[in-house]
Each structure stands twice: as structure tokens, then as C-alpha cells.
Amino acid sequence: MISKRSIAFLLFAPLIVSSCGTKEQSNTGKARISYNCSANAVEIKHLQEELPSFADSTGVEINLQPFTGQEKLYAMIAAEQPPDIFYTNNVLRDRLAAEGRLLDMRSLSAGDPFTGRLWPDVYSQGFSADGGLYSVGNWNFTAGVYYNKDLFNKAGLRYPDTSWTWNDLLAAARRIAAERNASGEPEHYGLYIPSHFVEIFELMNGAPVQQRSLFLNLSEPSLEVYRQYLALMNDRLMPDLRRMQAMGMQASQLLQTGKVAMLVEAVPHQVLFETLTIRWGVAPIPRFGTRPVRCFRSESGGLSISSQTANAQAAWKALKWIIAGASIYQPNPVLRDADFVTGWEARYPRLVGSGFREVWQRSLRHPAGDPRFFVRFSSWTSASILEHLQPLLDKLWARETTIEALVASQPDINRAARTELERLIQRGALREEFIKAIKEQLLQASHEPQR
Amino acid sequence: MNGFQSYDRSPTALGTLVRSGAVYVILAVISAGFLLPLAWMLSVSLQDVRGVFAQPFAWIPPQPRWENYSDVATLIPLGRYLLNTVVVTGLVLLGTVLSCSLVAYGFSRIRFRGRTVLFALCLSTMMLPGQVTMIPLYVMFSRLGWVDTLWPLIIPSFFGSPFYIFLLRQFFLTIPREYDEAARLDGAGRFRVYWSIILPLARPALITVALFTFIGTWNDFFTPLIYINSPEHATLTLGLNMLKSQIVGTGMTQWHLLMAAACMVMLPNIVLFTLAQKYLVKGIAMGGLR
């Protein structure tokens, strides 16, 4: 006699086992490509709706693998089961390419009209030290100064435009911050520049961007920007960084509440577009005196194809569709033929007349690349450099150290970077072409004056 | 003068009253500090996305948006994720309780050569951070063809967990051996003693282990993140992350929906904690027994 418990077990066990799942196998005869999209519910939903028609028209099925964070990617790479297509930033791309884990897409892209649709900088950025094409930029943005129109009106200031300079910005900030409360704090601070945007001003001030450079060299234009940035806090034109962080204030809240009249942020910036209820506009990052205009444009990452992909042609088709076909990413600013501004104005009508168009077009006219290409963010030694430099920068912004002390620490930082690099070469995990390129750079650096 | 009057008017009693009053006030303030994030979460779950960034923050939403809770289900397949989570949590619970109690029984009741060394070895595995074993385990499960299934989340629980083995062993040591001996005299074998004598007597400890396992597995984000690739095999914590992550270049976190989903996901934990807090407290104390 079978007991009731056994019957229940027999009924439920297959159900449980089946819900634990087995690996799905494609039996449609179509090529199957896995794509590590970001783990965002809206993005996944949109992609899932469009994937069947893409598969029908191209014979390529895209299997979504939504996750964010590099731990999983590393585990998958170690198990030799990486997704066919995944996002890489500069550093990761070069490292994986040097380890032979990325597909060189030159043979796929050569003669493909798709590459002609990309902005040249987006395309050329994917080339690594050995001349191989290891990624294609999949998104782009610039930066601007968002301002509160009512506070500008109240202070009798004209709205900033494309002609304004750093001195104009300072003058406007001073006028806005002139009104002080009993404790001497401004009723409204002039502006707020989050510390990770300081690099954009370094770029605008003419700091040289040396891609793949190995050692830190803080140039005079960068140091000048650091001085100006500290002066903003010392003169109470900008709220104290550490205090803002301690209060947990979001940058958008500072602008929304009138705590600051100007805010430096990314353009486009969906959080600001959706949450600001004040009357606002956006202006370009101001130039420094007579220095030429050099606009920040992000180019520091893109989509790569794994060298272990079973079907490179199908992966290339999928990559092109993700960038230029999937509606969730359209209009995509990396495409020359996409009217990005009009598309975003249609999505957010309040952008019309806000200055968004001018900021974007100016960045296209005067692209100066990405300050994340500074040696501290984009080279073989960037991790080591940042590990030592970032705490010093944090101290500098907290006014616990000086610019002179920062400059004096450069040799130590570079020494640590060199040691780390030599260890990497000795480990022997890199391809010969890359080791050769690094050694050449090291040799070149040894001929340069000691920093 | 009766006793009541003497108690009521005694300066010592008054002092005690004031002291306990002060303790309660301090505890209430500390509790409020802990409850504040929960209150914020609940409040945001009933607002629109602008409410999250509003200054001053409206703790009681003027027009509560109850539809946030149903909107979550339109963005992520909540039912599917709930089923996956229930299956994983249920099987992990079963595996942990069975395997840990069996191993703990061995360490507490069976005398064999190398028992102390083995027990120390078992405990020492607690010192290994998960990140160290992550890649080798991933490679192993990948070779077994189990990546992107729920098996890697479930099967390890059938091989015991050192902390729970330790916890149960400590409890088993408090059960008098005379029970075992009486059963053995009646002809019971070791497994019968374990199953029919020890397990029923260790019910409070088993409930504690089950509770800790439930909370740990229900809230686990890292393990599913590593082993699950497809959205259809995701658990609730991965689902929450899908509401948090931003779309490349274009998206923002839908905080109001994320908080609504978080409220729903944490509900079983709150109910469980309310019903079984005495076991949880006992369990923490039990770690220090003997």
C-alpha cells in the first residue's frame, strides 16, 4: 500500500525537478548567440519582444544573459563559457585582448557599410595595442552645466550660452552666492561639480590625454583645475564635497531644491530629465579664457565578441543589431545617421529650447575624447595608479593635503605602477604582441625625464 | 503603611522606574534609527519616481500609488521568480537540515579515530571566503552542465554547512546519552536512534537551522547571480536587481517600483521573524552552549 506521503512525493518531485531546469538547446537550426545585456527589467522586456523578428529575418537567435558586475564575467571566462557578446571598458578590453579572449573584428568589419555609419572616434577607439579591433562603442554621452533659470533671473544674470567662459561661470556663481545667512553660508550656492567631473575641466583646460600611457604625469593644466576646484569650496561658491557626501544628497536634489544654481552632470541625464520640476536649462562646459573648446565625449567602452564564439559572423550580425536595430537603444548617438537630439526631444519635450541641442552639437563639433583615457583610468597601470592616487585626491578635496604633496607623490606612484607592470609581464599570461608593445612603452618611458 | 505604598514611594523604586524609563527611551530611539530605512522604503513604494528625489521628503504620500505593486508584475515575471525562489529555498532547507543534522549526529554521538581533527577541519572551511571558491565551483558546475539551472543553488546544501553542523552538534551534546542507550537496548540501530530519538528531541535546534537557512537562501543574491544566466531561471533577488540596474546610457532606476518589489519580497521574512523570533534568539545563544 503506497502512503499518501509517497503519492504526494511522486507527484511533486517531477514538478520540482523540471522547475530546476536544464540547459536549453536550440533546435530551430538557427545560430545561437548569447548577449550579456544589463540586468534591467525594461531593457530585457524590450529586447525579448524584438528578438523573435530579428531571429526570423537573420537566422540568428540572441539568448539574453542579463547580469551586471565583473565577478560573474570572470567566472564565465575562467570556465571558458563567456557570453558571445559583452561590454568591455578600455582596461578590461585591452587585458582580455592581450590574453587572447576577444575576437579581432577587423575581418568582420572590413568592407561592412555598418562601420561607415559609426562616428570614426567610436570605431577607432576599439583598436588595441596590437592593431586589432576588439570592441565597438555602443553608447555615448557628453557633459554640461544644468542651471536653475529662476535663480539666474533673481540674481539678474543672463542665461549661460555657448560663448561663456570659466570666468563668466565664476562671476555668476559669486553673484548667486552673495546672499548669506547668519552663519555666513550662502542661501544658494553658485554651483556643484561632483569630483568625478573634475577631469572634464582638465580636458577643457588643455590637459594632454595620452592614451595607453603607463605613468602618471599631472600636467600644469590639470593642477590649475585642481586649484580652481579647491578655490570654489574655499570661497563657498560650491558646497563642501565631504559634507554633501555625508548628508547623502544626490546631485539632482541640490539643483531641484535650489541649494545650488548650477550643476555639472552628464548629457543626456535621464534622472534629471524625469525628476526636475524647476525651470532649468543646460549649457556647455565653459572654456578657459582663450583656450580652444575641447568637449568631453565618452568613448571608453563598447561591445566585444568572445574569441570562443562558435559563429563569428552571427555574433557580428547580432552586435550590429544591438547597436543600430534594438529600439531600446535608439536613436543611438554612436551612429552618424541617427538624429539623436530630435529623438530625445521627442521622448522629453521639455528638452526643446533647453540648450540640450546646442550642448550636443558643440560636443560633436569639438570632440576631445574622453578624460577617462587619462593614464589613471585607461592603461595597463591604471589600477595601480588609481589605488594610490585616489585616496590622495580624496584627501585633497577634503583639504587635508596639498597639491604640492600630490605632485611630490608622483614618483612613488609610478614606481609602484612599474613594479606591478613587471609582475604582469613575468606572469606570462599575455600574448607576445602585447608584451612587446608594453616593453616598448617601458623603454620609451625610461628615456623620458624622471617624474 | 502597606507594602504597595512603601513600594510606590520608595526612592529606590522611583529610581528604578526612572532608569527603566530612560532605557526604554534610548531603546526606542535606537529602534527608530533601524526602522527609518524600512519606513522610507514603504513610503517610496507608494510614490512616483519624483517622490524619491523630492525635498522635503513626504513620509506619508499625499496620493498613495498602490498600483506600483501591480506595475512590478508587468515589468518582471514575479510569479516565475517566486516559484524559482520557493523551489530553491524549499530544497535547500530540506538539504541543509538533513545533511547537517546527520553530520552533527556523527560528530556528537559516534566515537571514531580522527573525529576531533575532522570536526576542526569541517569548522575551518568556515574561514574560506566564498569568493575564493567561486571560480573553481563555477568551473565544476559548468563541466557538469548545471550552469543556468537551479541545481548549483540547491545541491551544495545536501553536503552540509559547517556553521549549522557546529550548532546542531552543540545541541545534540546536551541530549542525555541514556536516551540512545535505551533505544539501542530495544534493538535500534544508529540511524534509527538518529531519526526516531535525536531528531524529535532536537526540534528547537532544527527549527532554528531551518529559519536561518530560509532567511539566508531567500535573500541570497550572489549565488544566483553567478550561476543563473537566463531571465526565466532568475530568483526574486535577481528580479529586484533587474529593477535597480540602469539601461545602458539611457535608463534610470525606477526606485518606486524597486521599493514596492522589495516590500513584497521581504514580507515572508518579516512574517517568519515575527512568528519565530524566539527560535532565532535561541539559535544565536545556542552557538555558545557547552
Concatenated DSSP letters for B81-111?
HHHHHHHHHHHHHHHHHHHHHHHHHHHHH--
Segment 388-427 of chain A within 8 Å of chain B by CB:
none
- Model confidence, pTM: 0.84
Cα separation, A142 vs A296, in Å, equals 5
Residue A125 maps to a domain: yes
What's the grid cell of residue A64? 539574453
DSSP letter for each residue of A246-308: HHT--HHHHHHTTSEEEEEEEES-HHHHHH--S-EEEEEPPB-TTSPP-B----SEEEEEBTT
Cross-chain CB nearest to B247 (options A40, A64, A83)? A40
pLDDT of residue A183: 82
> Angle between the A41-58 and A312-324 helix axes, to the nearest 10 degrees?
130
Q: Which residue of B has its CA nearest to A71?
A: B226
Q: In which domain, by residue range, is A194 found?
A: 142-296+368-413
Residue A13 maps to a domain: no
Question: What CA–CA distances, in Å, run from A303 to A84, A204, A245, B243?
Answer: 10, 28, 33, 23
Instruction: Read off the DSSP letter of residue A112.
Output: -
Tell me, yes or no, if B139 comes closer than 8 A to chain A by beta carbon. yes
Cα dihedral value B96, B102, B108, B109, nearest 10: 170
| Beta strand extents in A155-278 (DSSP E only) | 189-192, 260-267
A265 and A117 both lie in a single domain: no
Say how many domains are in chain A.
2
Alpha carbon of A23: minimum distance to chain B alpha carbons (Å): 6
B246 contact partners, CB below 8 Å, separation of at least 6: A38, A40, B252, B253
Residue contact B50–A274, C-beta within 8 A: yes
Tell me, yes or no, if B262 comes closer than 8 A to chain A by beta carbon. no
Q: What is the complex's ipTM, to 2 decimals?
A: 0.77
Helix, strand, coil share (%) of chain A residues, nearest 5: 50, 15, 35
Residues in chain A: 451
Tell me, yes or no, if B36 comes closer than 8 A to chain A by beta carbon. no
Q: Which of A141, A410, A270, A21 is CA-nearest to residue B87?
A: A21
Residue contact A257–B135, C-beta within 8 A: no
Q: Is A340 exposed, middle or buried (0-12, 13-18, 19+ CB in 10 A)?
A: buried
- Kindly list the residues from chain B whose CB atom is less than 8 angstroms away from the CB atom of residue A45: 75
Alpha carbon of B218: minimum distance to chain A alpha carbons (Å): 16
Residue A154 maps to a domain: yes
* Domain B75-286 classification at class level: mainly alpha
**pLDDT band for position B1 (50/70/90)?**
very low
Tell me, yes or no, if B134 comes closer than 8 A to chain A by beta carbon. yes
Answer whether A226's CB lies under 8 Å from A392's CB: no
pLDDT of residue B3: 46
Q: Which of A260, A274, A151, A249 is CA-nearest to residue B55?
A: A249
A157 and A263 both lie in a single domain: yes
Residues in chain B: 290
Tell me, yes or no, if B246 comes closer than 8 A to chain A by beta carbon. yes
Instruction: Read off the DSSP letter of residue B193.
Output: I
Cα separation, A216 vs A389, in Å, equals 9
Mean pLDDT taken over chain B? 88
Residue contact A268–B154, C-beta within 8 A: no
Segment 192-231 of chain B within 8 Å of chain A by CB:
225-226, 229-231
Cα separation, B239 vs B248, in Å, equals 18
Answer whether A326's CB lies under 8 Å from A403's CB: no
Cα dihedral value A339, A342, A348, A349, nearest 10: 180
Cross-chain CB nearest to A72 (options B84, B145, B225)? B225
Alpha carbon of B74: minimum distance to chain A alpha carbons (Å): 10
Cα dihedral value B209, B210, B216, B219, nearest 10: -160
A192 and A62 both lie in a single domain: no
Tell me, yes or no, if A127 comes closer than 8 A to chain B by beta carbon. no
Cross-chain CB nearest to A81 (options B54, B142, B245)? B142
pLDDT of residue A326: 95
Cα separation, A193 vs A200, in Å, equals 10
Buried-state track A7-31, b at ≥16 Cβ within 10 A, e below 16: eeeeeeeeeeeebbbeeeeeeeeeb
Q: Which of B160, B177, B188 is CA-nearest to residue B108?
A: B177
Give the CA angle between residues A98, A196, A191 to the nearest 5°. 160
Share of chain B above pLDDT 90, in %: 65
Give the pairing of strands A301-305 and A31-35: unpaired
A442 contact partners, CB below 8 Å, separation of at least 6: A214, A418, A421
Q: What is the pLDDT averaged over residues B255-264?
A: 91
Query: Which run of H or of E encompasses B114?
Result: none
Q: Which of A363, A376, A211, A351 is CA-nearest to residue A280?
A: A351
What values do phi and psi take at A352, rounded to 5?
-65, 125
Cα separation, B58 vs B72, in Å, equals 22
Tell me, yes or no, if A39 comes closer than 8 A to chain B by beta carbon. yes
Residue A376 maps to a domain: yes
Q: Which of A197, A192, A190, A149 is CA-nearest to residue A170?
A: A190
pLDDT of residue B124: 92
What's the grid cell of residue A202? 582638465
Picking from A275, A280, A322 by the largest number of B CB atoms within 10 A of its own CB, the best residue to mutate is A275
pLDDT higher than threshold 80 for residue B9: no
Share of chain B above pLDDT 70, in %: 91
pLDDT higher than threshold 50 for residue B61: yes
A54 and A110 both lie in a single domain: yes
Instruction: Read off the DSSP letter of residue A162.
Output: T
Segment 291-330 of chain A within 8 Å of chain B by CB:
328-329
Distance between terminal CA atoms of chain A?
87
pLDDT of residue B290: 42
pLDDT of residue A424: 83
CATH number at residue A263: 3.40.190.10
Across the A:B interface, residue pairs with CB atoms under 8 Å apart total 128
Q: In what order do the strands lie in the sheet with A301-305?
A: A60-64, A31-35, A85-89, A301-305
| Beta strand extents in A169-239 (DSSP E only) | 189-192
- Kindly list the residues from chain A whose CB atom is less than 8 angstroms away from the CB atom of residue B50: 274-275, 277
A320 and A217 both lie in a single domain: no
Residue contact A64–B225, C-beta within 8 A: no
- Kindly list the residues from chain A whose CB atom is less than 8 angstroms away from the CB atom of residue B83: 19
Segment 68-87 of chain A within 8 Å of chain B by CB:
68-69, 71-72, 74-76, 78-79, 81, 83, 87
Domain extents for chain B?
A: 3-68, 75-286
A149 and A254 both lie in a single domain: yes
Residue contact A328–B131, C-beta within 8 A: no
Residue A249 maps to a domain: yes
A162 and A235 both lie in a single domain: yes
Q: In what order do the strands lie in the sheet with A142-148?
A: A189-192, A260-267, A142-148, A280-284
Q: What is the pLDDT averaged over residues B14-24?
A: 90
Residue A18 maps to a domain: no
Question: What CA–CA distances, in Å, run from B183 to A383, B105, B250?
Answer: 64, 15, 69
A265 and A378 both lie in a single domain: yes
Buried-state track A408-429, b at ≥16 Cβ within 10 A, e below 16: ebbeebbeebbeebeebeeeee
Establish how many alpha carbons lie within 13 A of residue A369's alpha carbon, considering only the half-sphere containing its beta carbon.
18
A191 and A93 both lie in a single domain: no
Cross-chain CB nearest to B226 (options A72, A140, A257)? A72
Tell me, yes or no, if A65 comes closer than 8 A to chain B by beta carbon. yes
Alpha carbon of A450: minimum distance to chain B alpha carbons (Å): 40
Segment 142-161 of chain B within 8 Å of chain A by CB:
142-143, 145, 147-151, 154
Query: Which run of H or of E encompasses A32?
Result: strand A31-35
Which stretches in chain A have pLDDT values below 70?
A: 1-2, 4-28, 211, 248, 371-378, 447-451
Residue contact B250–A76, C-beta within 8 A: no
Answer whether A188's CB lies under 8 Å from A176's CB: yes
What's the grid cell of residue A283? 549649457
Residue contact A20–B87, C-beta within 8 A: yes
A282 and A328 both lie in a single domain: no
Alpha carbon of A344: minimum distance to chain B alpha carbons (Å): 10
Picking from A5, A26, A42 by the largest number of B CB atoms within 10 A of its own CB, the best residue to mutate is A42
A115 and A170 both lie in a single domain: no
A284 and A173 both lie in a single domain: yes
- Kindly list the residues from chain A whose CB atom is less than 8 angstroms away from the CB atom of residue B87: 16, 19-20
Residue contact A271–B53, C-beta within 8 A: yes
Alpha carbon of B70: minimum distance to chain A alpha carbons (Å): 15
Residue A439 maps to a domain: no
Tell me, yes or no, if A34 comes closer than 8 A to chain B by beta carbon. yes
